[in-house]
Amino acid sequence: MDSNAENRQEQRLSYRWPVWFGENVTQALFPGLMEDVSSGGITFAYPAGLVRLQEGQRLTVRFSIPRFDDQNPDATVGITRTGHVRWATAAEAGTCRVGFQFDTPLSLKPAEEAALATLCRNSQRTSQ
């Protein structure tokens, strides 16, 4: 069980997709893999040998989330956010996991958007 789950104020969208992070967008960005995202932050993993992140460290992250539209269900929206590391911990298989809080929340709640998109698609199929 995720020990950080009790600190979450909204449901998160579980989404495995590349994420890039660094101290700012002009410096080298390191690759990671998103685990989940909410309007206030993101959890991602990265290879432990790349860099050592610490609680409170300022970062910029770049990632994509689904667009949730009927036109192209595979479309994504690119997002860049600054913020700080809430927690960082070693994980299995030589990876580190990071909880990252955005300075400016997303204007949407990804898990709610995904649920609504699924509900709309399912209701359209049953009404046809």
pLDDT per position as a tens digit, 65-114: 877 666 676 778 888 999 999 999 999 889 999 999 999 998 876 656 65
Domains and CATH numbers, the chain: 12-127 (2.40.10.220)
Would you call 122 helix, strand, or coil by DSSP? helix
**Whole-prediction pTM:** 0.77
What distance lies between CA 7 and its chain's CA centroid?
16
Backbone angles phi and psi of 82, in degrees to 5: -100, 160
pLDDT per position as a tens digit, 16-40: 899 999 998 777 789 999 999 888 9
* Spatial CA neighbour of 105 closest among 52, 42, 45: 42
Structural contact between residues 34 and 18, judged by C-beta atoms closer than 8 angstroms: yes
* Better-predicted residue by pLDDT, 103 or 7: 103
List, in sequence order, every beta strand (DSSP E) within 13-55.
13-14, 18-22, 30-37, 41-47
Other beta carbons within 10 Å of 66: 17
Backbone angles phi and psi of 76, in degrees to 5: -125, 165
Backbone angles phi and psi of 63, in degrees to 5: -160, 175
CA 38/CA 128 separation, integer angstroms:
33
